[in-house]
A and B are shown apart, each in its own frame.
Chain A
Amino acid sequence: MSTAKATYGWALLSLMALVLAPAMVQVPYFLHLGILALIWVIVAQGQNLVQGFTGYVSIAAAGFMGVGAYASTLLTSKLGWSVWTSMACAPLVAGLLAVVVGYPSLRVKGHYFAIVTMAYNLVIFIVLINFSSLTGGESGITGIPKPENFSVLGLIVNFETRTAYYYLTLIFAVLATTVCGLVLHSRVGRVLLAIRQNEPLVDAAGVFAWRYKMFAFVLSAALCGVAGALYAHFIGFLNPEPFGVDQSLNAILAVILGGSGTLAGPAVGAFLVVALPEVLRVAETYRLIVYGLLLVLTTIFMPRGIIPLLTHAWVWLTSLFKRR
């Protein structure tokens, strides 16, 4: 049971590091990246639900992110709703769309599913670009407000500051991870894992696999919707560009790099995919090539990602000490 204890230990440790980070980090840009990484943690956790747990690779994460982002922005700007209410609606809109489009696509498996979801992402992107009377087209929407201030115990939290927004995204990222953890350890999670292992068997056992797949797909879309809303109100400017298929591939990369089917994997992967382009910025022209190569090599040589690798290393290390 020491591995379980170690897992909690590590989780607590990294959470503490994340909580303390704003106090330590002096460069505002790093905090900016931290916020983006935390937003990507939410996306990656959603992606992992479908890709890692259920074994269906969906290529629509960025599309649903876009739906959430535009939903929240438009509710704020066109209907004059408060940012908090709009942000709360983002996952609902994304989830609702996922219910509608999930029905036809979850009838198909494997590659078909991947391709159909990619088609959704393309459609979302095309609509965002061309429906310019609503979305502002390629030039986008500017001046998206930050969430309204509120006071806790007489302390006014101002979301114009990066630090406040950082903690906001941190809370959401932790919530997303917790929700995914709860799902994983519930009956639903077991069914999802069973679907990944052997879907015909799940059906044969009298379990309606498609309901569970639908649940995973919708929850995943909702998480992406939240992430999109957080992104929109953080950046303050919205155009369709960050919601294309290549960003969905980024979500897949995050899950694969970190370790698909684990809880920590997507979190670590999200930080990696945000950090990597920064590290590779020196070689901007080679970024795509390096990215692609990384994806290929990871899939060939460590298909289970970094986290299982680290776990093995940790177990090995502790066993070394025990022997002494």
Chain B
Amino acid sequence: MIEFLQQVFNGLAIGAVYTLIAIGLTIVFGILGIAHFAHGVVAMSGGYVTFFLIEKLGVPFFVAMMLAMLVGAILGLLVERFAYRPVQNAAHINAFIIALGLTMMIDGLNLLAFGPDQMVIRTPFQSVFNLAGLVVTELRVYVMVTTAVLIVAMSFFVSRTKTGRAIRAVAQNRSAAILMGVNVNAVALVVFGLSSALGVAGGALVGAMLALAPGLGESLVIKGFAVLILGGLGSVPGAIVGGLILGVSEALAAGYLSSAYKDVIAFLVMIVVLLFRPEGLLGKK
């Protein structure tokens, strides 16, 4: 029983990261209809920036993460403006192919700038608690709390501010929003900034919990899309539920079946959901 709970706890921590990545993907998809495959490498770049700030400049973890989120947001803006906007009226698949190209490009740049070695982001949260046999690492608690805080902050921004209202308007009906005088291009930029900042937070947390390495961006974004498919494209609650389910099922699969095949099991879950509920667990028909 305690082993089961341990796996669930570990799964929730990694699931929180998947959720952060997936929320960024889902808002971009829900509002702009772009499958932003380059999200993963943007998140990883942010992780590298966090690492750099901590190791080379001695910035505290959370400050470094915030600064990296800012850098990530700017990278997101650039990506939207120069890569996606030129094809916004072409077939959606063109944007996806562009995203694949961006992934290769940013991956190459990361490789050039930070090298091929694994890097673990150092954090001051090294304590380990023992709750009746359940091993709770401080870092994992921080990961979950950070995720929760970011999600609450984002929901507040989207539901309470004027910009947030514009974002929701574009999501509901793009043409009507344009007619109401919403600047759709500005909304697209804001959405990309927001999404990339959240993604970078995910990248920094995963870098602290596991490690940063080339190719991790792709694996993160694929997990993110798996979460989207689980929860329903464009749905934020779906991304939260889907992320946690994916994280926990992966951890359980690794603990009870085989750690080498844990990703296979995660994808199997995704495919089963697709078979029986193609719109996702919380998606609308």
Q: Which of A130, A249, A288, A299 contacts B108 (CB 8 A)?
A: A288
Instruction: Report B75-103 CB contacts with A as 1/0, cut-off 8 Å.
Output: 00000000100110011111011101111
Give every chain A residue within 8 A of B111 (Cβ-Cβ): 285, 288
Give every chain A residue within 8 A of B260 (Cβ-Cβ): 126, 129-130
- Considering the chains assembled together, what is the distance between the CA atoms of A126 and B263 in angstroms? 8
Instruction: Report A88-130 CB contacts with B as 1/0, cut-off 8 Å.
Output: 0000000000000000110110111011101110110011011
B229 at interface, CB cutoff 8 A: yes
A237 at interface, CB cutoff 8 A: no
B190 at interface, CB cutoff 8 A: no
Give every chain A residue within 8 A of B35 (Cβ-Cβ): 110-111, 114-115
Residues A296 and B222 in contact in the complex (CB < 8 Å), given A110-B92, A252-B100, A287-B108? no
Interface residues on chain B, size class? 35 or more
B107 at interface, CB cutoff 8 A: yes
The reply to whether A292 and B108 form a contact with Cβ atoms under 8 Å apart is yes
Give every chain B residue within 8 A of A295 (Cβ-Cβ): 97-98, 100-101, 104
Give every chain B residue within 8 A of A114 (Cβ-Cβ): 35, 93, 96
Residues A57 and B278 in contact in the complex (CB < 8 Å), given A115-B222, A289-B105, A293-B105? no
- Ordered by A's residue number, 18 sampled pairs between the chains whose C-beta atoms are within 8 Å are A105-B271, A107-B278, A111-B96, A111-B233, A112-B274, A115-B229, A116-B229, A119-B226, A119-B267, A122-B222, A127-B264, A289-B108, A289-B109, A291-B101, A291-B108, A293-B105, A296-B98, A299-B97
A168 at interface, CB cutoff 8 A: no
Interface residues on chain A, size class? 35 or more
Q: How close is B195's CB to chain A, nearest CB, in angstroms?
A: 16
The reply to whether B226 and A296 form a contact with Cβ atoms under 8 Å apart is no
B261 at interface, CB cutoff 8 A: yes
Instruction: Report B93-136 CB contacts with A as 1/0, cut-off 8 Å.
Output: 11011101111111111011000000000000000000000000
A55 at interface, CB cutoff 8 A: yes
The reply to whether B267 and A108 form a contact with Cβ atoms under 8 Å apart is no
B250 at interface, CB cutoff 8 A: no
A242 at interface, CB cutoff 8 A: no
Instruction: Report B262-282 CB contacts with A as 1/0, cut-off 8 Å.
Output: 011001001100110010000
Q: How close is A197's CB to chain B, nearest CB, in angstroms?
A: 11
Residue of B nearest to A59 (CB): B100
Instruction: Report A293-314 CB contacts with B as 1/0, cut-off 8 Å.
Output: 1111001100100000000000
